[in-house]
Structures are given as C-alpha cells and as structure tokens.
Structure 1
C-alpha cells in the first residue's frame, strides 16, 4: 500500500517530514489528495451550476417586445405569454447545461482520481472512445433528435400551448423535450413527433394572430354604405372593453373591396389579436357584421 504515492509531491514530503518519515505518510498524502480532488470537483460543479442558474434567470426576466412597444390592454397579455415562453425555454436550456456540466466535471474528476491511484486510464479512454463510436453509429437518429430539439428550444420555434403544424400532425403542443414533441389535435388524438423528423413548423400562436372576414355583397350595392357599415362595426368592436383589453391588439382595419367580379363585391375586415384568439374574434365579427348589414338593409351574396 505504501507504493500508492510514488511521486515526490509536496504533500507527500510534508507528511513524511511531519511524521518523521512514517511509512504510512505517502498513503495518507494520497488519500488526502484524492479527497481534495473530489471536493474540488464538487465545488467547481456547484459554482458552474450557480452561474448557469444566474444566466437562466437573467434570460427569463429580460424585457419583452410587447412591453417596449406599448403598455396596457391586450399587449400586456402578449407580454405575459412571451415571458412565460422565454421562462420555459430558459429553464429547459438551463437544465440541459447543468447536466452537461455535471457529466464533464465529475467525469474529469473520476479520471483524475484513477490517474492518482496509478490505474492506467489510457485503455479506459480508448474503450470509451470505441464504445462512443459504436453508439454513435447505432443511435444516429437519437442524436439527430436531440440536436434538433436543442435548436428548437434555443430558437423558440414553439412552446407548450402553441397551435402548430409540424407536417406530420397539427395540434396544440402539450410537451416539448429534446427528443420528442407531444401534440394533441382537434379530435383529441395525441401525437408524438420526433424532433429530428420535423423539417418545417407553422406556428399559429407566436407573437400575435390575425382574424379576417370576407363580406360578399351584390355588385349593385352602394360601396360607400357597405364601407361605412363595416367601419362602424370595427369601431364598436375596438371600443368594446371585453375585447380591446383582453383579445384585440390593434384597431380593426376595413380594407374595402378585396375582390371584384360581375356578380359580387367582396369587402374584407382584418383584426390583429392575441395568439390563438383569432377564431374567437372572427366569430364575434361575423355576428356583428350580420346584424349591422341586416339593419342597413344590405344583403350578402353567397359564393357561386
């Protein structure tokens, strides 16, 4: 056992001098050295974890575009959604970084201890390298999924609660991991889509959405009367606190004649809304436009 510490290190020499050259001094020196290496490894790990947590918290609490753009009303709702998305993304990335830091630091610590115990680590590293190559070839799809999931989280392509189209399925995101994305479609069916198979993403819930309504009327209808009626509906919807403060982001736009044919004119109303609220606004818009047109005596023309 006395051969464990063969090198003439400062710690070994100190113990040998302190205990008058006792034969167990090198063993004690090696044991203390190994203990210090382990303690140092865990201290470094904790420091790195604290730094990662600080960076994650700072990234999760930075000001959003909606806050800088305008305060009040529906924009505060957008700000809350963006903050929650940013928080989820930052926490997920923080968790991944903490795991990677733990593996790297503690792995290095273990290798250092083995080297200190004079256990050859070159064959071990060679074996691990060969095993890594074999696993890499056998788990290419898994690695592809993890890399794709990492970039999806970093780029904030979508988050929990978003309505997305990933090609293979369309639905509401219920969970996002580094390997798979779980969606629930309108029929209640749950889809598990591997991140590596997603080549495009259509997100209906990011930032803001738009509701629009096409209003077809007869060719001989008074254009000014239709436009004034639709503008009145848009103003009433914007002035309604139930929608302006919680759902609608900007004043609705009446674009005028969107399409022109020999049998009908098509007017369009567009409303910018909170994410995934366009269907709710469109239903209310259809209801109000129908009542307003009936009151004005303007008939709608069905599609040909």
Structure 2
C-alpha cells in the first residue's frame, strides 16, 4: 500500500516553510508593485488637475470651462485605477494560493497528475458552461481600464441609448429617456458611442420666409449669439461664441438658417432651446416673417 503522504522531518517542514516564505515574498513584491502603479497614476491625475487650476486665470474660456470638468474626470480616473488595482490584487492572490497549494502537495508526495487531469476536465466543462460569464468579466475589466464610459455618461450601446447609472464587471446599468432601466451585459456590447466625452454641439435651425433677406436675418442671429455668449448663465456651459453657419437649406416658401454652438458635455439641449427661442423673438421683433404653411406657399416655377 502506497502512503498518501510522504513526511520526512525536518526536510518536509523546511521545504513547506520555504514555499510559504517564497509565496509571501512574491505576494508582497507584486502587491507593492500594483500599489506603486496605482499611486503613480493618481499622482499624474493630481498634477494635471493642479496645473489646470493654476492656469485657470490665464487660459481661454474654452480651456477654463473644460478645466472645471477636470475634477469629475479625475474622480472617475481615480475610481477606475483603484478598481483595476483591486482586480489585479485579487488575481495575484488567487494565482499564488493555487501555485502554493500545488507545490505543497508535491512536497508531501501527493501525485498531482490525477488532480491536474481532473482539474483540466472540470476546467473545460466550466469553460463551456461559463464562457459567456468569463467574456462579460473580461469585457468589463477592459472597459473600466480603458475608460470607455463612466457613471453619468450618455452612451449608445447599439441596443439602447441611456445614461450610465452603474458600471460593474459583469453588467452595465443604463436609464433611457423614458425612465426605463436597462441591464446590459458587458460581453454583449460590441460598440459604444459616448456623447459625454470632450464636448457636445448644439445645432439650431431657424426658419424664415423665402421672401426675406437672408443676409439681414443672419446679422440679427449674430447679435443673438453674441448676447447668449455674454449671458452669465452660460459662462460654464458655452466653450466659445456660437457660430452662425449661414443658410443651411432652401425649400418652397422657407429658408433654414443654422447656428452651431460648442458646449460642455450633455449641455447642448438647454442651449438649443434658448437659442431658438431668442432667435425667433429677435426675428419677429425685427419684422422678419415666418415661413408660409405648405398650402399657402407659392407654387414652384419651372
């Protein structure tokens, strides 16, 4: 009968102690390297925020408005870095524990071939059964690490458009414009359109009658955009003065004039509504006529 364990004093005890010591040293070194990487990344973000704060009085309005968003961006960066560090730390612990256990079993004379064979068969079966789960977790880790989106971002996943409420390793929770909550598996997200990174653009189309002078109407709209840009309520919203692009479309009975405004992320909707309201009010005050209804529009001449 072959004994299950082979124990020789003090050789076996010394070998096990050496395995434990090497494992603890490796764990200390790897965890320290991860913590150093996390601290370095956070320090870079802190220096960037400090430089933006120091230069706030000397930069353009565009840079100043974007600089005020740096705090939220850095906070998300810190959360992403800490999450990645936590995942790496847990992975290191799991790998080291498995290797240490197998090494100790080898020292004790336990045949590892049956164990490894059984583990291989079980691993294959588990991989087939949980491959979608593994895919979700890997995709979640990569999305967090790459900062594809974060809480508060308005994103388009292909299946649903909504605001991110939570980002997990397996699922992402969104709330669409109707208030419905969606749970999207990270492994099923093939593409992401993020409308909240960098800046947004407000597009305003102002209609006037085809009989009106477009040049005169454009001059009026330029006065409106200058007024909106000088308004204090948009000091932290508009990155630059809205641009009157000019005539965008001509149809029977109407001319469409377009205004473009560069805003802070997700702030374009309010700017669009206010610009349109002020533009129509200014045009009416100047006597510029609205487009005629389709039935009342003069017939097109050949």
TM-score, normalising length: structure 2: 0.83
The aligned residue for residue 44 of structure 2 is: 62
Per-residue CA deviations over 1:86-126 (Å, capped at 9, x if unaligned) read 22322222222112111112221222222222222222222
Per-residue CA deviations over 1:1-47 (Å, capped at 9, x if unaligned) read 99623xxxxxxxxxxxxxxxxxxxx33x5334423422432332232
1:95 pairs with one of 65, 70, 86: 86
Distance apart, 1:61 and its partner CA: 4.4
Per-residue CA deviations over 1:244-286 (Å, capped at 9, x if unaligned) read 2x11122211101111223211111111111111112222222
What's the Cα RMSD here?
2.7
1:111–1:302 Cα change, 3 Å? farther
C-alpha contact (below 8 Å) 1:217/1:298 kept by paired residues: yes
The aligned residue for residue 265 of structure 1 is: 255
Runs of 4 or more, structure 1, over 4 Å off, are 63-72
Structure 2 gaps of 5+ residues are 295-302
The aligned residue for residue 31 of structure 1 is: 13
1:248 pairs with one of 232, 238, 250: 238
Q: Count residues with an aligned counterpart.
A: 282
The more displaced of 281-290 and 166-175 is 281-290
Aligned pairs for 1:205-224 within 5 A: 205-224=196-215
The aligned residue for residue 30 of structure 2 is: 48
C-alpha contact (below 8 Å) 1:229/1:293 kept by paired residues: yes
TM-score, normalising length: structure 1: 0.83
- Secondary structure of residue in 1 paired with 2:44: coil
The aligned residue for residue 270 of structure 2 is: 280
Structure 1 gaps of 5+ residues are 6-25
Aligned pairs for 1:68-87 within 5 A: 73-87=64-78
The aligned residue for residue 228 of structure 2 is: 237
